[in-house]
DNA sequence: TGAGAATATGCAATCGATTGCACTTTAAAA
DNA sequence: TTTTAAAGTGCAATCGATTGCATATTCTCA
């Protein structure tokens, strides 16, 4: 093996011919140790290159100062930005962050959740996989009263804090905007509506139509997994309808983008002949031509908020639990793809 | 506190009136335990909802099955994709991943590195902050022979494995491409050249010019931090030169993009009047108009490779160390912003 | 000067899993 | 039937830091 592993408080104690307890107390600034002794110990600790073993401390304290994050895919802009926000708050509060991605697979999500539990994370922040329809694995946390915060794709049944956007309002705002721009046959590309986020958005979409006395036409609503490919399939399908739509509200910017590409290719003018609005304001949405109207989710702020809520719950063990669902504001960003008034 | 914390091997032992050692061995499939006993123990463990305490195990085994990643910014596409690759391999090999972001601040990087060390990660993967010019904090790892892998922004001096792209070739390829397209007064927007990655790229840029008997003009090389704002400043500055350039090779796609935006705004035609090539193939580069020529780094594969190297080194403790620098291929992607032959 | 208070430090158990060594039981060999 | 080997378990120490409960020393005031 390597050279003698690491310096421990016992090594320091031996060096100074005192007990390890005193060293531990001194390094933690326990008032029971005199200033003189503390200084001496700290000096020696520094000289010997002491680095505390957090593992040992964690075991003894039953606390790891670590929070787990589970997202479907780390390199999706929304998620990585969210994670960035979590990390920011966590770091400033003295917490580490373990991340894992479920790849939208329930089985992987289960394994991850178990592993994070075994690693005794102090709390968990999770956005569910697209496949997740049962929640037994999460009861590992809820049963043991380990703080849990959902965001984005949440489990409505479970008692936990939740960070979401008002998806109903999103659907309403997006659709109303298209109506305001004069579109009348508005389609909707929805994700799997078992997930409340997609379900609510569709409700908002329908509500907007009704409010404006426009018919809700079944065949104009398409459900899929919202990949790039799905977007292209969807627009082809929609254009082939007897009475094709003149605009689409897409479940995400990715599908909206692939629709724009397709429409440009076949020569349909945006926004003149066809309006498009997406969701989540990806980095590319601003720069594509025509630029893509969308709704912005405050990803970084959601991460910060999730971390704050979680850490607050971790450190306030004795508070009676009261679970909140925090709705973050979304912002309608009107760009070229849907703006034909001006 | 909560209900009695968790089930331990001692609880299982008591339940079965056997010793904890036997339980431990049974759960780890130690051959010294009979099949009969094993089955009995596993059944009870399951029934009691036993979840191993990884912390305790880590302490005893002096191994955490955790690797640390430090990147400047988690939500940069290159980094989050890299992380995604690391996570993939780590998960499949039974490792957890702790991530932190330095925000390109040396001080934060130092704190993170110390914290990860104290958390006894089995290895570390790091891309240095833009400010990092001293490496004492990393000696914490190298001195103790804890595996360390650099990627992207590496410390050339230190003995460790490194994953990079051939930045010299990048500079060469990008510049040669612009020359091939008929541009003659090619500028370069470089990052801080203390970082070898930017330094090498600039060398490649200059080599390409020389090889084609084009002059290397000092004032056409600009150094900054490559933010969006920096890109705009740079293009303004370049256009105001006595003898302004007719093309730019940008240190990243972000600055290339902001240049495109600016040039479009003031009516300079791309690629006819001005050529642009960026670096790293951001998601937006493909969809901006004109689409942006760039060089693609295999971020996900780099993450996989880094994880493989690191984990291999972790698990091969007794191998004599031999450090490699792995150069990953980059791909020149020619798009509209620099293509005027066809 | 002596008693109690205040101050400073040490002992040993604890967190939960692992493992070298020892012990017991059973089976096989002599 | 006795000896020896093999198989199956348990004891207790260990990983490193923390902390309740002593104990030891110094100080203060009657």
B161-209 tens-digit pLDDT = 999 999 999 999 999 999 999 999 999 999 988 888 899 999 999 999 9
Q: Is the pLDDT of residue B6 over 80?
A: yes
- Beta-strand pair B294-296/B331-333: antiparallel
Q: Which residues of B touch A1 (CB under 8 A)?
A: 317
State, as a whole number of angstroms, the distance between the CA of A10 and the C1' of D14: 14
Question: pTM of the prediction?
Answer: 0.93
Interface check B91 vs A, CB under 8 A:
yes
Is the predicted pLDDT of residue A5 greater than 80, yes or no? no
Mean pLDDT (whole number) for A196-203: 92
Smallest CA–CA distance from B79 into chain A, residue: A75
Spatial separation of the C-alpha atoms in residues B164 and B154, rounded to whole Å: 8
- pLDDT tens, residue by residue, B30-67: 888 888 889 999 999 999 999 999 999 999 999 999 99
Task: Of A179, A180, A181, give the one whose Cα is nearest residue A216.
Answer: A179
**Of B4 and B183, which is predicted with more confidence?**
B183
Q: Rounded mean pLDDT of A299-318? A: 92
In which element (H, E) is residue A111 found?
Answer: helix A106-118
CA atoms within 13 A on the CB side of B57: 16
Task: Give pLDDT, residue A318.
Answer: 59
Does the pLDDT value for residue A4 go beyond 60? no
- The count of other CB atoms within 10 Å of the CB of residue B105 is 16
* A270-293 pLDDT tens trace: 999 999 999 999 999 999 999 999
Mean pLDDT score, B144-153: 93
pLDDT the model gives residue A1: 32
pLDDT of residue A320: 62
Residue B319 has pLDDT above 80, yes or no: no
Q: Does B89 touch chain A (CB under 8 A)?
A: no
3-state secondary structure A199-268: HHHHHHHHHHHHHCCCCCCHHHEEECCCCHHHHHHHHHHHHCCCCCCCEEEECCHHHHHHHHHHHHHCCC
Q: How many residues does chain B have?
A: 342
Tokens read off for B87: 């996570």
In chain A, % of residues over pLDDT 90: 84
In the stretch 124-183 of chain B, residues with CB closer than 8 A to chain A read: 140, 144-145
Which letter does DSSP use for residue A332 in this model? Answer: E
pLDDT given at position B318: 59
d(CA B290, CA B340): 12
Task: Report whether A97 contacts B100 (CB < 8 A).
Answer: yes
pLDDT 10s digits, A211-224: 999 999 999 999 99
Give tens-digit pLDDT for B213-238.
999 999 999 999 999 999 999 999 99
Q: Which residue has 């293009």 as its token pair? A: B235
pLDDT band at B5 (very low <50, low <70, confident <90, very high): low
pLDDT digits (tens, 9 = 90+) for A93-128: 999 999 999 999 999 999 999 999 999 999 999 999
Scanning every strand, the nucleotide with its C1' closest to A7's CA turns out to be D16
pLDDT of residue B3: 39
B2 pLDDT band, cuts 50/70/90, is very low
Going by C-alpha positions, the residue among B167, B141, B137, B139 that lies closest to residue B153 is B167
Mean pLDDT of A150-165: 91
Does position A337 have pLDDT exceeding 90, yes or no? yes
Nearest alpha-carbon partner for A115 in B69, B7, B97, B124: B97
Contacts of B276 (CB under 8 A, 6+ apart): B247, B248, B250, B256, B259, B260, B263, B270, B292, B293, B337, B338
Q: Report d(CA B272, CA B168) in Å as an integer.
A: 27
* The pLDDT of residue B103: 96
Distance B215 CA to C30 C1' (A): 97
Name the H helices within chain B.
9-16, 20-27, 35-48, 54-61, 77-93, 106-118, 136-143, 167-180, 196-211, 228-239, 253-265, 299-315
pLDDT at position B84 is 98
Which residues 18 to 37 of A reach strand C, CB within 7 A? 18-22, 25, 32-34, 36-37
Alpha carbon distances (Å) from A184 to A23, A94, A209, A339, B40:
75, 53, 9, 14, 67
* The pLDDT value given to residue B32: 85
Between B230 and A341, name the one with better pLDDT.
B230
pLDDT band at B342 (very low <50, low <70, confident <90, very high): low
Reading the block at residue B181, the tokens are 């397209």
Does position A319 have pLDDT exceeding 70, yes or no?
Answer: no
Q: Is the pLDDT of residue A37 over 70?
A: yes
Question: Mean pLDDT in chain A?
Answer: 93
B292 in contact with chain A, both atoms CB, cutoff 8 A? no
């Amino acid at each position: 093996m390597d050279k003698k592993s690491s310096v421990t408080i016992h090594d320091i104690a031996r060096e100074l011919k005192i007990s390890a307890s005193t060293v531990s107390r001194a390094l933690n600034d326990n008032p029971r140790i005199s200033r003189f002794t503390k200084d001496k110990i700290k000096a020696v600790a520094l000289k010997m290159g002491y680095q505390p073993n957090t593992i040992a401390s964690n075991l003894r304290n039953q606390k790891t100062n670590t929070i787990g994050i589970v997202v479907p895919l780390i390199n999706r802009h929304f998620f990585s930005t969210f994670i960035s926000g979590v990390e920011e708050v966590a770091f400033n509060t003295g917490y580490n962050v373990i991340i894992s991605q479920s790849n939208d697979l329930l089985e992987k999500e289960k394994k991850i959740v178990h592993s994070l539990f075994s690693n005794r994370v102090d709390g968990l922040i999770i956005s569910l996989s697209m496949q997740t329809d049962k929640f037994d694995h999460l009861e590992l946390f809820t049963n043991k009263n380990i703080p849990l915060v959902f965001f984005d794709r949440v489990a409505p049944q479970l008692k936990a804090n939740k960070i979401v956007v008002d998806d109903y309002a999103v659907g309403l705002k997006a659709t109303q905007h298209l109506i305001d721009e004069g579109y009348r046959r508005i389609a909707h590309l929805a994700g799997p509506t078992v997930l409340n986020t997609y379900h609510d958005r569709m409700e908002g979409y329908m509500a907007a139509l009704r409010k404006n006395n426009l018919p809700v036409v079944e065949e104009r609503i398409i459900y899929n997994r919202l990949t790039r490919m799905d977007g292209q399939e969807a627009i082809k399908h929609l254009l082939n309808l007897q009475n094709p739509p003149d605009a689409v509200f897409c479940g995400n910017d990715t599908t909206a983008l692939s629709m724009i590409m397709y429409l440009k290719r076949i020569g349909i003018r945006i926004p003149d002949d066809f309006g498009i609005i997406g969701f989540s304001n990806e980095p590319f949405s601003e720069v594509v031509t025509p630029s893509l109207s969308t709704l912005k989710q405050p990803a970084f702020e959601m991460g910060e908020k999730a971390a704050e809520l979680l850490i607050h719950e971790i450190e306030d063990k004795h508070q009676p639990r009261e679970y909140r669902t925090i709705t973050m504001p979304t912002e309608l960003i009107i760009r070229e793809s849907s703006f034909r008034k001006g």
